[in-house]
Amino acid sequence: MNLSPYLGFVLVIPGMVLLARQLFWAPVVLMEGLEGKAARDRSRALASRSWPAIVTAVIFLVVMDRATQGLVGTLIGLDALPKDGLGAKVLSKLVPLASILTLPLVSMVPALLYLKMRELGGETLTEIMAQLESGGSRSRWEQRMRARLPVGTPSKPT
């Protein structure tokens, strides 16, 4: 009896739950400056604010990555090559590189969702940006750029 399908099912569900809980770990580390257990706890707290949005984002990210790899594998004709040939071995190693096409999306979705989850917690975007900008000292280049560029959004005419 082959147990691998059952083992895969047993490991996929907890893996997806862990991925959903830790989806905001990188944005928390980068934007809030937390590390270690504090960053994991903050990520979990943010993720618990809207489980449907988190689950949808995780499923979207996984499906996008797999679909891109499958599409690239089909386009280069990996199925048409003999399985034991050198060409199939080389091309099968190149298919995972298709993730380069989805990498920007995979990094932007959690960052934007992170901001949305903070807004769901009652924080305004102005408060979030003030916290992010109150970081450490800035380089002279960044100080010059901030002096040249208008800060904030244009006000609405009344």
Per-residue pLDDT, 151: 57
50 exposure class (CB count in 10 Å sphere: 0-12, 13-18, 19+): middle
- Please give the model's pTM, rounded to 2 decimal places: 0.62
Residues with pLDDT less than 70, the chain = 1-9, 77-88, 132, 134-138, 149-158
- Which pLDDT does position 114 carry in this prediction? 87
Question: Rounded distance, CA 126 to CA 138, Å?
Answer: 20
Q: Output the pLDDT for position 158.
A: 52
Apex 12 CA angle, 75 and 120, nearest 5: 95
Instruction: Give me the pLDDT at residue 139, please.
Output: 72
The confidence score (pLDDT) of residue 8 equals 63
The confidence score (pLDDT) of residue 154 equals: 53
**C-alpha–C-alpha distance, residues 46 and 119, integer Å:** 10
